[in-house]
Structure 1
Amino acid sequence: MASARLLAKLVTTAGSISGEAVQVMQDHAAAAEHPPNTHPPDPLLVPLDVPGLEMVPPILRLLGATICSASQVDAQSELRVAGYVCRLVRRYGTVRRSIEALATTRRRHPLISIDKSHAWSQAMSVSASAIEPTLQRHAALLVYLSKWIKEQGLDLERKLDAYQHWLDAALEGHDTVGSVGVPVGVAPAVGQAAGAPPVVIGEVERAPAAESEEPTKLIADSAPGPAAAPVFVTDLELILGTILRDKHVADQPGERVITPAQQAALGRLKSAESGVYERAVAAVALRDYQTADAFLSSLEGRIDPHDLAMLRGDRFYMESRFDEALAHYRVARGHRESLDARIAIAASLARAHKGSIDDHFREAIDLLGDTLGAFDEGTTEWARVCAMLAGTKLQAPAGVHQGRRGDVVQRAIELLESALRVFGKETFPYWWAEVNQLLARAWLECPAGDRAENVHRAMQHLEAAGQVWSREADPAHWAALQSDLGHAWERMPRGNRAENIHKAIECFNRALEVRTREQHPVSWARLQSNLGNAWLQLPASGGPGGGAELRQNVEKAVACHMAALEVWSREGRRHEWAATQNNLGNAWALMPTATDAAGLEEREKNLRRAVSFYRAALEVRTRAHNPQEWASTMNNLGTALMNMPIHPPESKRPANKMNPLHEAITCFEKALEVRTRDAHPLEWAKTQTNLGQAYARLTDGDRVENLQEAAAYFENALEVYTAAAHAHQHQHVQARLKEVKEQLRLAEMAK
C-alpha cells in the first residue's frame, strides 16, 4: 500500500484542482496542432507542459476511472466521466465541491456511481491525517489509488507539490493592498466605507481599545480547512467555552460528561478565592442550582447585564427548562448582539414547549440563516452555525417545511458536510462526532437515491462518531449513537426484516444499559418509546404459533409505551405524552385476537381503547399548534373507527350513536385539510386510500354512490402510488380498486 502521507497529498491535490486549472488545460489542448477539419484533441489526453499543472489531466482521468459505475471501466467511459467532472469543476470551482455535488445527488450522470463519489467526497472532507483511515473504509478505492501511485513513479510527490505552488502563486495585480486600504479578498459591507472594519456579530471588548488597535472580530480570516483547536487561557473561558456556551443540536444539556480538565477547572472556580461570577458559573456548570440561584441574585447590577442574562439562561437551559432559558437569552440579546446569544436562542427555541412548535422552529431557522451570513466561510464560527442550522432543519416538524422535506434534508447534508471540512477529529472531536451523528440522521431521512445506500451511509457516519463517543469515553453520547443505530436498522430495506428489527431492539436495549430511569429519566422514556415502536414492527415468524407470537410483540410494545408514560406528565412533557398516547392507540389497534365470537368482542374493546388513546392525544395535538401531528392522529383515529364492528339494528346499540364509518370519514376529511397533495403527497395518498376503504364498507344510503366515491378515492391515491415509485402500495390499492369496481358493477345491475 502507498504511504499515508502520499495518499493524503494525492487526495488533497485532487480536491483542490480548480476551475482555472481546468480552463488552462482546455485552452492548451485547443491551441495544440491538429489536422485541418478535425476536432481538437481531448484535453485529458494532451500532455500539459504548463509548469505545475502536468498532473491535472492524469488526476482527472483517475477520478473518471474510480467514480465510474461500470464494473469494468474502458477508456471511453473513463474519459466521458472525467469530461463531465471537468464541466462540474468549471461550475463549482473545485473538484472537491464537484464530487460533493455528485455524492449528494445534486448532480447525476448515468455513468457515475453515487457510492464511489461518496467515498472520494469523504476522503476529501477530512483532515490530512484522517484521509488514510477514511480510505480504509473504502477498500477498493484504497487499492486502486495505491496501485496508481506506484505506477506514477518516484517523481509523483514533486509533481503534486508543483501544483500546490502553482495554486499559491501570486495573482498579478491582486496580491497587494489597494489604495483604499481594503485587504485582498475582503469587500466592504453594504453601506460601509472602504477601509472600515467589517460589520460583525460579536462580543464587545469590556475596555475600549487604543485607537491604533484592530477592533475585536468574531469573523475569522482563516482559510477553509480543518481549523485549529481553540485555546482557553483561563478556567472561566474553558468552562464557558466548552460547557455553558458550547450548545449543540443533538445533546441533552443535563447529560453532558464533564472531562477531568473541566472538573479541575470547576474545582478552582468554585473555591472561596474566586469571584462571585466565577463561582456562579461553576455552580451552573455543575448543575448545583440552589447555589447558582443564590449567586445570581447577588450579581444583579454588579456585572454586564448581557453576561448576567446569559448565565441566568444557562442555569435554566442546563436544567432543561428551555422556555425560561429562552426568555433570559432574549433579554441578553436585547442588551447586546452576540453569537452566543443567537445560538442559545435558537437551541432553546428548538426545545421550547410553550406556544407553537412550528413557529419556534421557523424563528430558529431564520435566526441561524441570518447569522450564517455574518461569518466568513471556513471559519469555526461559520461551521458551528452550519451544524446548528442543519440540525435545526432536521428536527423541525413537517409543517415548517411545507412539503419540501426532501429539499430540506439535501440542504442539511450540504451544510453538515461543509462543517465537517472545518471540524477536524483531532481539533474539535465533539463537534466532529456530532456532525457525523447529524449526517447519519440526515441520510436516514433522505428521500433521494437508493434507500439501502442511504441507510448504509448513515451507519458509516455513526461508526465514525463512535470513534470519539465510545462507551468508555462518553457513555451518554454512545447511548445516543446506539439509539440512532437502532433507527437505522428499523429502516434498512435489505435483508431479513425480522432480523433487522431484532438488531434495532438490541441497539435500544444497549442504550438502556447506560440511560437508566434513575439517572436519565427523559432519555430512558424516549428509548422505551423506541422499543415500543420496534416491537410493533416485528413480524411473526410465520409458524403455527405466529398469531400468539405477534400478540406477544404487541403486548411488549404496550408495556414499553406505558413505561414511558410513567415519566411524561401532561404538564411537564405534554408533547411527548401526546406522542405516546398516539403510539398506544396504534398498539391497541394492531392487537391480534381470535376469530371466534369472544375474539371479535375483544377486538372491539381493543379498538375502543385505541380510540380513547387517540382522543387523548388530540387534547394536546391541536391543529393550531401541531397541524402535522394533529392530522396524523386524526387519520389514525379514523382508521380505528373504520375497523370498528357495525352492530345490526336489532342490537342494543344506542340509537343516537353515530355510525363509526361516518365518524371515520369525518376524521379522514379533517386530516386532508392539512395533508394536501402538493404539500404532503404520500400522506395525502394514504388518507385518500383510507377514505376509499371507508366508503367501500359504507352500507348506509345509496350503495352505488358509496362505491363510486370509493373508486374515486382509490384512483386519487394511485396518482401518487405509482408502480415505479411505490410498488407495494400501488399493488394494494389497485387490488382494492378492482374489487370495488366489481362490486359497483353488481350494485348497478341490482339497482
Structure 2
Amino acid sequence: MTVAPAAVIDDNGVERYRDTLKKIARGRAALQWAEAQHNLGDALLKLAERENGTARLNEAIGAYRAALDELSRSRKRVPLQWAATQNNLGSALALLGEKEHNVTTITEAVAAFRAALEERTRERTPVDWATTQNNLGVALINLGQGTGDARTLTDAISAFRQALKEITQERAPLQWAVTQSDLGTALEILARRESTTANLEEAVEAYRLALKEFSRDRTSQQWVTTQGRLGGALARLGEREFGTGKLEEAVSSYREALQELTREKAPTRWAWMQKNLGNTLAILGERQNHAGVLTEAIAAFREALKELTPDRAPLEWATAQLNLGDALGSLGRRENTTANLVEAVEAYTEALKAFTRQSTPLQWAMAREGLGSMLKRIGERENNSGRLEEAVSIYRETLKELNREAEPARWARMQNNLGSTLAILGERKNEAGRLREALAAFREALKEWTTERAPHEHELVMKNLDRTLVSLQAREKN
C-alpha cells in the first residue's frame, strides 16, 4: 500500500488526499478507495505526531477504520494491505491513548497490532513483523502502566524480544537500539512490582546495549533518554542492594545525561533529571553518612525547583519540595545547628500546599511525618517547648486521618514519634499527664510493631516505653 511521501505531509497534502477520495467511486473501485483512505490516515497521523491536540488523530483513526471496512471484505486477496492498515490504526490509537491517558483506547491499539500480526508473520514479512512486534510492545507498556497488570508488561517484554530476532544490531543498528531501550523500560517497570532484582539487572543490560549505538553526537535525544533510564534502573537496583556501587553508577549516568540535557534545551526534562539525580544522591549520602553528598542532593533539588514551579507543575513541584525537605532533614540530623532543619520545615510546609489527604494521601502523610519529625528535632536542640507542641499537634492531626490498615508501618512510626515527643515535654515540664499520654502512644505503636512483624522496631518502642514508665514512676513517688 502506498504511503504518503514526506514532502506532502502538510495541510495541503491532507486536502489533496481528500480531493482524491471525492473522485473515487467506492462501489466501483473499493480497493483504490481504501488505499486513498489509508494514505489520508497516514498523512493525518504524521501531522498529529507534531501537534499537541487530538483532532487529527481522531480523523486518522476514522480514515483507517473506513479503509478497513473495505479491506476486510477482500482480506484474502490483499492480506498485507489489510495488516498494514491495522498496524497504522494501532499506531494512531496508541498515540491517542497515550495523550488522553485512556486505557480503553490503548487496549484497542493492542488489539489492532495483534490483528496485524495475524497476516504479518515472520516468515512472510520479517521486517514488518518485527516492526509491529515493537509497536505492540510499546502499547503494552502503556497499557501495563495504566492497569498495573504485570502480565501485560510480561507480554511487552516478549514482544520486544520477538522483534529483536529480526531487528539486529548488524541490519538496523539504530532501530535495534530503540528496541533495546524499550525492552529495558518494560523490564524496569515490571521490576518495580517485584522484590527480586533479576529484571532490573536485565534492564540495565538492555540500556547499556542501546548506548552502544546511541551517541551524544548522532542521536542526542535518544542518548539522553537512555542515559536517564539507565540511571533510574541503576538507582533502583542500588536501593535494593547493599553497598553504594550501583548508586554511584546511577549518579554518573544522570550527570552524563545532564551534560547534554540543558535547562535551555528542555527545561522540564532537565528539571526531572535534576530531581532524579537529587533522589539518588540523597540515598547515597544517607548510606555513606556523607554530608557532602547530601549537600549535592540539596543543590540538585533546588535546581529542579527552578523549573518545577507550583504554577506549571504543582504536584511535581510539591514532590521536589518533599524530597528537598527529606535531604535537608538528613543533613540537619548530622549537624549541631538547626539551620537545615528549619529549611526542611519550610520545604515540607510548601509541599503541603499542594498535597492533600483527599487527592494525594501518601505524599500528604509523608510530608506531615517529615514536618513533625523536624519540629521535634528543633524543639529538642533549641530546648523549645513551642516547637515540640507543634510536633505533637502535627502527629495527632495526621493520626486522625491516617489509615492504619493501609499504612500500618507509618501509623506505628508516628505513634512512636508522638510518644517520644510527649515524653520529652512531660520531662521538661514535669507533667505526669504528658508522660501517661506518651505511654499510651507507645502502646498503640506496639499493636503493629510486634515481636513477630518488626522485632527491631518493637525493641526500640519497648525501650522508649520503659524509660518513660520509669520517669513517670519517679514523679509519682515525689
Q: Does 1:436 align with 2:180?
A: yes
* 3-state SS of paired residue (2:319): helix
Structure 1 pair 651–468 and aligned structure 2 pair: CA distance change class (3 A): closer
Indicate the residue corresponding to 2:222 in structure 1: 477
Residues 298 and 715 of structure 1, relative CA distance in 2, 3 Å threshold:
farther
Partner residue of 2:50? 318
**Residues 113 and 136, structure 2, Cα contact 8 Å, conserved in 1:** no
Match of 1:489 among 210, 219, 234: 234
CA distance in 1, matches of 2:450, 2:19: 69
> Does the aligned pair in 2 maintain the 1:482–1:511 contact within 8 Å?
yes
Alignment of structure 1 residues 25-174 onto 2, 5 Å:
none
Counterpart contact for 1:317–1:348, Cα < 8 Å: no
State whether residues 231 and 253 of structure 2, in contact with CA within 8 Å, keep that contact through their aligned partners in structure 1: yes
Q: Give the structure 2 partner of residue 663 of structure 1.
A: 397
Cα deviation for residue 368 of structure 1 reads 0.4
DSSP 3-state at the match of 2:375: coil
Match of 1:585 in 2: 322
- Paired residues of 1:469 and 1:477 also in contact (CA < 8 A): yes
Q: Which amino acid aligns with 2:50?
A: M
Q: Is the 8 A contact 1:486 1:503 kept in 2?
A: yes
User: Which residue of structure 1 lines up, in the alignment, with residue 410 of structure 2?
Assistant: 690
Question: 1:645 and 2:389 equivalent?
Answer: no
Matched residue type, 1:417: R
Is the 8 Å Cα contact of residues 231 and 254 (structure 2) preserved in structure 1? yes
Partner secondary structure for residue 510 of structure 1: helix
Please tell me whether the aligned partners of residues 306 and 331 of structure 1 are also in contact (alpha carbons under 8 angstroms): no
Match of 1:138 in 2: none
CA distance in structure 1 between the aligned counterparts of 2:440 and 2:200, rounded to whole angstroms: 45
Give the equivalent residue in structure 2 for 1:565.
308
User: CA RMSD, aligned part only?
Assistant: 4.4
- Structure ranking higher on relative contact order (CA contacts 8 Å, 6+ apart): 1
CA distance in 2, matches of 1:419, 1:580: 39
| Local SS of the residue matching 2:109 | helix
1:310 CA drift (Å): 5.0
Q: Does 1:616 align with 2:362?
A: no
Other structure's SS at 1:421 match: coil
When residues 641 and 520 of structure 1 are mapped into structure 2, their CA distance, relative to the original with a 3 A threshold, is closer
- Structure 2 match to 1:178: none
Correspondence list, 1:166-565, <5 A: 239=6, 269=7, 278=8, 281=9, 292-293=10-11, 296=14, 303=21, 307-308=39-40, 311-319=43-51, 321=52, 323-324=54-55, 326-333=57-64, 335-337=66-68, 338-339=85-86, 340-352=88-100, 357=101, 360-361=102-103, 363-365=105-107, 367-369=109-111, 371-376=113-118, 378=122, 380-395=127-142, 400-401=147-148, 404-405=149-150, 407-447=151-191, 453-493=198-238, 497-539=243-285, 546-547=290-291, 549-565=292-308
Query: How far apart are residue 737 of structure 1 and its match?
Result: 1.4
Given the two structures, how large is their TM-score scaled by the length of structure 1? 0.47
Q: Distance in 2 between matches of 1:743 and 1:520?
A: 51
Q: How many angstroms apart in 1 are the aligned matches of 2:414 and 2:99?
A: 38
Q: What is the percent sequence identity of the aligned residues?
A: 16
* Offset at residue 693 of structure 1 (A): 0.9
Contact between 1:641 and 1:664, CA under 8 Å: does it hold in 2? no
Aligned to 2:169, the other structure's residue is in SS state coil
Aligned-residue offset at 1:591: 0.4
Structure 2 spans left out of the alignment, 5+ residues: 22-35, 69-84, 423-433, 474-478
Q: Provide the C-alpha distance between the structure 2 equivalents of 1:597 and 1:412, rounded to a whole number of angstroms.
A: 48
Matched, 1:737 2:458: yes
Q: Distance in 1 between matches of 2:203 and 2:181?
A: 8
Deviation for aligned residue 1:636: 2.1
Partner of 2:428: none
- Are the aligned partners of 2:109 and 2:139 in contact in 1 as well (CA < 8 Å)? no
Structure 1 residues 584 and 347: alpha-carbon distance in aligned structure 2, compared to 1, 3 A threshold: same
Measure the CA separation in 1 of the matches of 2:395 and 2:89: 52
Q: Is the 8 A contact 2:321 2:350 kept in 1?
A: no
Distance 1:461 1:521 in 2: 27
Task: State the number of aligned residues.
Answer: 414
SS at match of 2:305: helix
Which whole-Å CA distance do the structure 2 matches of 1:479 and 1:560 have between them?
A: 18
C-alpha distance in structure 2 between counterparts of 1:600 and 1:651, whole Å: 15
Which residue in the other structure is 1:222 paired with? none
Structure 1 alignment gaps of length 5 or more: 1-204, 206-233, 240-268, 270-277, 282-291, 624-629, 677-683, 720-732
Point out the structure with max Rg over C-alpha: 1
**Distance (Å, rounded) in 1 between the aligned partners of 2:168 and 2:364:** 46
Does structure 1 retain, via aligned residues, the 8 Å contact 2:160–2:179?
A: yes
Find the residue that maps to 1:538 and give its secondary structure: helix
Q: What is the Cα deviation at residue 660 of structure 1? A: 0.4
Matches of 2:141 and 2:450 in 1, distance apart?
Answer: 33
Change in Cα spacing, 1:385 to 1:514, as seen in structure 2 (3 Å) is: same
Amino acid at match of 2:394: P
Asked whether the 8 Å contact 1:368–1:385 carries over to 2, the reply is no
Kept after mapping to 2: 8 A contact 1:323/1:348: yes
Give the letter aligned to residue 425 of structure 1. Answer: Q
Deviation at 1:461, TM superposition (A): 2.0
Listed one character per residue, the Cα deviations across residues 474-520 of structure 1 (whole Å, up to 9, x for unaligned) are 23222222222222332344998444333323322322333344444
The verdict on how the C-alpha distance between 1:740 and 1:485 changes in structure 2, with shifts beyond 3 A counting, is: same
For 1:590, the aligned partner's letter is A
- The structure with the greater share of residues assigned to helix is 2
**C-alpha deviations, 1:417-470, integer Å up to 9, x for none?**
222224333444444222211222333345499956544433332233234333
Cα distance, 1:521 vs. partner? 4.1
Counterparts of 2:301 and 2:160, CA distance in 1:
37
Describe the shift of the 1:310–1:542 C-alpha distance in structure 2 as closer, same or farther (beyond 3 A): closer
Conservation of the 8 A alpha-carbon contact between 1:305 and 1:332: yes
Separation in structure 1 between the aligned mates of residue 467 and residue 386 of structure 2, nearest angstrom: 32
- Report how far residue 562 of structure 1 moved: 1.7
TM-score (norm 2): 0.70
Tell me how far apart the structure 2 counterparts of residues 526 and 595 of structure 1 sit (CA, whole Å).
27
